[in-house]
């Protein structure tokens, strides 16, 4: 009882410190961060993150870990997992069991529905993001930063990067790929067995279904606010009708689906299907340079746009090394860490910071980044961005897809 009171006081204190930090002329702000840096020294930060993307793993273990070790004396250990939802489940059990300290995870790579679940069940430490000095580089007025899939972030997570869906094709096999969802659906009907999407609730499969939903709806912006039930039902029913009718033209006649984007990517590379879908604009270029895709592979976005979002890091309520985790989260936002991450030879992930807020010299470095052969230019990507719908729509679409498309009920 008393412990939780103390915790609440600390949390309150943190909020107040956060508010002070926002006041630019407050001389104490710097000292508090110095305190955090001091306490972070020597801590070991266990970062639970999806481990399915080799370039991300290489960036974290090859660049971030040595840098925070050298600069802040923090040992960063990546804990690769297949789905952050499993960690959220575990945190929930720990919360239930009253394990308020000594949790294994110090930092989580998270966004969307998992963030919503974690936030609603008080599984996150914070607010902390506003304490980080590099937060001034982030444009919090952007809807995809302020809201994470429609859920207000409220400094419970700190942005790390952003992503956008692109379609991957081979211009030798498919010289004229369909440029809109409408054309893609026609293409699939005319080329039976040559297209697949991962089965929702897989993240990439789920985003493909949302594109179909947006295509049916026509008006994307209408879904950002509170959900209109009758409108949702109508749009979803039409989307699932299209997908049900599309199923026989899919890979394996829609009798089975790839379980994740890696499997889809393997099918694409093996020539079983003609498209792959990626939520990472630079992934195709990276796969070419890794020799996994032929050099003739390219990407495109739909004329009507593709869905984009921001991904974040968060700290569990019972993290053992919260200070270390905060310092790592801050370092991730530093211009050099963001530049390194944006380099296609490293990962090619979009920056979470607003590059225009940097001084000209840093801006030039971002502008000079080499671009992978299959990666679309920034302005093409940015002018074709659609927001993610709120996560309750996403969850309903995933569940309804399973019932109406997979099980045909």
Partner 1 sequence: MITAGLSENARTRTDPGFPVLTAQLAPALLVVLGLFGGGLFLGALQSLGYLPSVGMRVYSLKHFNNIIADPDFLKNLGLTFYISSISTGIAAVIGVLAAMAMTGYRTTRRVVNFVFQIPLTVPHLVIATAVIFMLSPSGLASRALQAIGLIDNPSQFPLMVNDSWGVGIIITYVWKEVPFITLMVLAVLNNQGTELLEAARTLHANRWQRFRFVVMPIIFPSLGAACLIVFAYTFGAFEVPYLLGQTYPMTMPVWAYRNFSDIDLMARPEGIATGLIIAVVVAVAIVLSQVLVQIARRRGVIL
Q: Which is nearer to partner 1, 87 or 352 (CB)?
A: 87
Q: Which is nearer to partner 1, 199 or 301 (CB)?
A: 199
The answer to whether 397 contacts partner 1 (rule: CB under 8 A) is no
Owner of token pair 């949702």: 232
**What is the distance between the alpha carbons of residues 240 and 120, in angstroms, rounded to a whole number?**
29
Instruction: Among 81, 85, 227, 247, indicate the residue that binds partner 1 (CB under 8 A).
Output: 85
Specify whether the CB–CB gap between 195 and 253 falls below 8 A: no
Site size with partner 1, rule: CB under 8 A: 32
Interacting positions 187-226 with partner 1 (CB under 8 A): 193, 199, 201
The residue among 395, 405, 394 whose CA lies nearest residue 240 is 405
DSSP letters for 230-249: HHHHHHHHHHHHHHHHHGGG
Q: Which is nearer to partner 1, 73 or 193 (CB)?
A: 193
Exposure class string for 321-334: b at 16+ Cβ within 10 A, else e:
bbbbbbbbbbbbbb
Instruction: Among 32, 83, 139, 378, indicate the residue that binds partner 1 (CB under 8 A).
Output: 83
The answer to whether 121 contacts partner 1 (rule: CB under 8 A) is yes
The residue among 308, 276, 289, 281 whose CA lies nearest residue 386 is 308
Task: Give min distance, CB of 274 to partner 1, in A.
Answer: 13
Strand ranges in 171-305 using DSSP code E only, listed in sequence order: 275-278, 297-300
348 Ramachandran zone, left/alpha/beta (phi>0; psi -120 to 50): left
Instruction: Among 23, 96, 141, 361, indicate the residue that binds partner 1 (CB under 8 A).
Output: 96
The answer to whether 66 contacts partner 1 (rule: CB under 8 A) is no
Instruction: Among 35, 54, 66, 86, indicate the residue that binds partner 1 (CB under 8 A).
Output: 86
Q: In this chain, which stretch among 29-37, 38-46, 66-74, 399-407 interacts with partner 1, using CB under 8 A? A: 399-407
Task: Give min distance, CB of 402 to partner 1, in A.
Answer: 8
The residue among 176, 122, 148, 167 whose CA lies nearest residue 304 is 167
Q: Which is nearer to partner 1, 136 or 252 (CB)?
A: 252
Q: What are phi and psi of 8, to 5 degrees?
A: -65, -40
Task: Give min distance, CB of 96 to partner 1, in A.
Answer: 4
Instruction: Among 267, 284, 314, 353, indicate the residue that binds partner 1 (CB under 8 A).
Output: 267
Q: Which is nearer to partner 1, 345 or 406 (CB)?
A: 406
Q: Which is nearer to partner 1, 371 or 408 (CB)?
A: 408
Specify whether the CB–CB gap between 119 and 151 falls below 8 A: yes
**What is the distance between the alpha carbons of residues 236 and 32, in angstroms, rounded to a whole number?**
50
Instruction: Among 154, 272, 304, 320, indicate the residue that binds partner 1 (CB under 8 A).
Output: 272
Q: Which is nearer to partner 1, 264 or 301 (CB)?
A: 264
Q: In this chain, which stretch among 34-42, 85-93, 157-165, 364-372 interacts with partner 1, using CB under 8 A? A: 85-93
The answer to whether 32 contacts partner 1 (rule: CB under 8 A) is no
Instruction: Among 220, 292, 369, 395, indicate the residue that binds partner 1 (CB under 8 A).
Output: 395
Instruction: Among 143, 271, 295, 377, indicate the residue that binds partner 1 (CB under 8 A).
Output: 271
The answer to whether 399 contacts partner 1 (rule: CB under 8 A) is yes
Task: Give min distance, CB of 260 to partner 1, in A.
Answer: 11
Q: In this chain, which stretch among 13-21, 219-227, 282-290, 396-404 interacts with partner 1, using CB under 8 A? A: 396-404
Contacts of 119 (CB under 8 A, 6+ apart): 151, 154, 156
3-class DSSP assignment, residue 334? coil
The answer to whether 245 contacts partner 1 (rule: CB under 8 A) is no
The answer to whether 92 contacts partner 1 (rule: CB under 8 A) is yes
**What is the distance between the alpha carbons of residues 167 and 268, in angstroms, rounded to a whole number?**
12
3-class DSSP assignment, residue 109? strand
The residue among 364, 312, 332 whose CA lies nearest residue 163 is 312
Q: What are phi and psi of 46, to 5 degrees?
A: -95, 115
The residue among 137, 115, 149, 194 whose CA lies nearest residue 332 is 137
Q: In this chain, which stretch among 41-49, 82-90, 234-242, 357-365 interacts with partner 1, using CB under 8 A? A: 82-90
The answer to whether 262 contacts partner 1 (rule: CB under 8 A) is no
């Amino acid at each position: 009882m008393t412990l939780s009171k103390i915790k609440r006081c600390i949390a309150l204190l943190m909020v107040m410190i956060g508010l002070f930090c926002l006041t630019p002329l407050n001389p104490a702000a710097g000292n508090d961060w110095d305190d955090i840096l001091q306490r972070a020294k020597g801590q070991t930060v266990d970062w639970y993150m999806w481990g399915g993307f080799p370039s991300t793993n290489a960036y974290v273990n090859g660049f971030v870990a040595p840098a925070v070790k050298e600069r802040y004396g923090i040992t960063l250990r990546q804990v690769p997992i297949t789905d952050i939802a499993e960690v959220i489940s575990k945190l929930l059990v720990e919360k239930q069991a009253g394990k308020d300290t000594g949790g294994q995870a110090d930092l989580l790579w998270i966004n969307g529905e998992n963030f919503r679940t974690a936030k609603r069940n008080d599984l996150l430490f914070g607010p902390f993001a506003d304490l980080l000095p590099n937060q001034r580089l982030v444009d919090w007025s952007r809807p995809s930063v302020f809201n994470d899939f429609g859920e207000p972030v409220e400094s419970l997570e700190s942005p790390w990067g952003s992503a956008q869906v692109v379609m991957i094709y081979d211009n030798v096999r498919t010289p004229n790929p369909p440029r809109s969802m409408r054309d893609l659906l026609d293409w699939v009907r005319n080329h039976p067995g040559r297209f697949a999407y991962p089965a929702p609730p897989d993240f990439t499969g789920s985003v493909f279904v949302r594109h179909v939903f947006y295509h049916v709806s026509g008006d994307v912006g209408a879904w950002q606010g509170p959900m209109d039930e009758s409108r949702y039902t109508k749009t979803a029913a039409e989307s699932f009708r299209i997908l049900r009718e599309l199923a026989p033209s899919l890979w394996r006649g829609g009798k089975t689906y790839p379980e994740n984007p890696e499997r889809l990517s393997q099918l694409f590379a093996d020539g079983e299907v003609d498209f792959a879908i990626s939520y990472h604009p630079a992934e195709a270029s990276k796969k070419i340079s890794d020799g996994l895709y032929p050099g003739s592979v390219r990407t495109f976005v739909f004329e009507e746009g593709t869905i984009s979002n921001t991904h974040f890091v968060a700290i569990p309520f019972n993290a053992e090394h919260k200070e270390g985790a905060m310092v790592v989260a801050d370092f991730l936002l530093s211009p050099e860490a963001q530049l390194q991450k944006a380099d296609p030879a490293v990962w090619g992930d979009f920056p979470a910071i607003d590059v225009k807020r940097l001084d000209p010299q840093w801006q030039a470095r971002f502008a000079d980044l080499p671009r992978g052969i299959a990666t679309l230019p920034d302005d093409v990507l940015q002018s074709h961005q659609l927001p993610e719908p709120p996560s309750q729509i996403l969850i309903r679409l995933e569940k309804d897809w399973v019932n109406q498309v997979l099980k045909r009920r």
